[in-house]
Chain A
Amino acid sequence: MSSVLPLPAQISSVLSVIPPEKIAGKRNEVVTAEFHLQLRGGYHVNSNTPNDEYLIPLRFTWSGGAAQAGEVIFPKPQQEKYQFSPKPVSVFTGDFKAQAKFKVVSNGVVNGKLRYQACNDRACLPPRVIDIKVPVEVRN
């Protein structure tokens, strides 16, 4: 019993993120950057505040770089009822925006990751991470 079954067709990401062109402001100024998130039709992702401890939240994380990350503001989640859920699930669907605050430190880039876990009404995809890179510009 050593056979290997064929690999499935590659499943491309069901969530894409369009970051702002750049984060720009005076040194130490706190600016708001808007991230557009686009989810493939028929899918949902858990919101940043799922109502089940086992569910994986939508989360941005930032590492060092030219801007100091602050609060992330997500839209109000939808409470959707699916065939698999006895109670409504806190999710995002379709296109939506998240805003993140950054304190401008220097010229350069800020690196981030968006972790998400997507499902449709009958199956779930494993948690995935999208790498994000946004240029930072200090204005005088």
Chain B
Amino acid sequence: MFICSTRALAAGSLALTLMVSCNSKSEHTRAATVKAESGRKKAPDFTLKDSNGKTVNLADYKGKVVLLNFWATWCGPCKIEIPWFIDFEQKYKDKGFAVVGVSMDEDGWNAVKPYLSESHINYRVLLGNDSVGTLYGGVDSLPTTFVIDQDGRIAATHIGLVSKSDYQTEIVQLLEGKRADPVVERTSAARSN
């Protein structure tokens, strides 16, 4: 189910245009890829609480590839993606990856907690607010998802539903990219010696 990739877009830019233009499915189909490192912006840090009341900072995840997903219980397209994210969390958790969900439900944990238990979400979900939404460009359309690299920079942005394979490709690119860097450095160092 490939719908539309919004690769390499700054957060929140022209959300409505994307929502409309991406309705014409295959016309805009592109292979998923992450932004070049030089074009990545820092993911704004925030502090929110998880469902256990624990305070979480995005900066705590530095060193990991993070899929930061803004969603809500009333958002149908968001719920299609959640089983994919559960799968990614399970598959890549031990390889330096984490999913962080940020719920934008107005009714707070009363609305979110029942959904967390019935959908068996295995990743951390935080309760968002307008301030965090503003940091990320307004987050006026859900789902909105940012794929963040190990250095805390935004490598890909998706506004609206995209395909599971797009996310997977980006996650793997980032995980493998990080592993490749030290090898290159070691090889260069060995040659210079």
Contact A84:B161 (CB < 8 A) given known A120-B23, A122-B4: yes
B73 within 8 A of A: yes
A131 to B174, CA, bound (A): 47
Q: How large is the interface on A (under 10, 10 to 19, 20 to 34, 35 or more residues)?
A: 20 to 34
A108 to chain B, nearest CB (A): 31
**Hey, which chain A residues are within 8 Å of B115, CB to CB?**
54
Contact status A89-B76, CB under 8 Å: yes
**Hey, which chain A residues are within 8 Å of B31, CB to CB?**
none
B42 within 8 A of A: yes
Contact status A3-B12, CB under 8 Å: no
B172 within 8 A of A: no
B47 to chain A, nearest CB (A): 11
* Selected interface stretch from B92-100, B138-146, B178-186: B138-146
Contact A84:B80 (CB < 8 A) given known A3-B41, A6-B10: yes
A81 to B140, CA, bound (A): 24
Contact status B161-A83, CB under 8 Å: yes
Q: Which residue of A lies closest to B46 (CB)?
A: A1
Interface SS of chain A: helix, strand, loop or mixed? loop
**Hey, which chain B residues are within 8 Å of A1, CB to CB?**
42-45, 58-59, 152
Contact status B3-A83, CB under 8 Å: yes
**Hey, which chain B residues are within 8 Å of A56, CB to CB?**
74
A59 to chain B, nearest CB (A): 13
Q: How large is the interface on B (under 10, 10 to 19, 20 to 34, 35 or more residues)?
A: 35 or more
A64 within 8 A of B: no
**Hey, which chain B residues are within 8 Å of A120, CB to CB?**
19-20, 23
Q: Which residue of A lies closest to B144 (CB)?
A: A123
Contact status A126-B76, CB under 8 Å: no
Contact status B41-A5, CB under 8 Å: yes
A104 to B1, CA, bound (A): 54
B170 to chain A, nearest CB (A): 18
B190 within 8 A of A: no
A121 within 8 A of B: yes
**Hey, which chain B residues are within 8 Å of A84, CB to CB?**
76-77, 79-80, 161
A121 to B4, CA, bound (A): 12
**Hey, which chain A residues are within 8 Å of B4, CB to CB?**
122
**Hey, which chain B residues are within 8 Å of A121, CB to CB?**
23, 77
A interface vs B, CB < 8 Å?
1-9, 11, 42, 54-56, 82-85, 89, 117, 119-127
Ordered by A's residue number, 25 sampled pairs between the chains whose C-beta atoms are within 8 Å are: A4-B44, A5-B41, A5-B135, A5-B137, A7-B138, A8-B13, A8-B14, A11-B140, A42-B19, A54-B73, A54-B74, A83-B80, A84-B76, A84-B77, A84-B79, A84-B161, A89-B76, A121-B23, A122-B4, A122-B77, A123-B19, A124-B77, A124-B141, A126-B140, A127-B106
Sample of 5 more A-B contacts, CB < 8 Å, known A7-B137, A54-B111: A1-B59, A1-B152, A3-B42, A84-B161, A119-B77
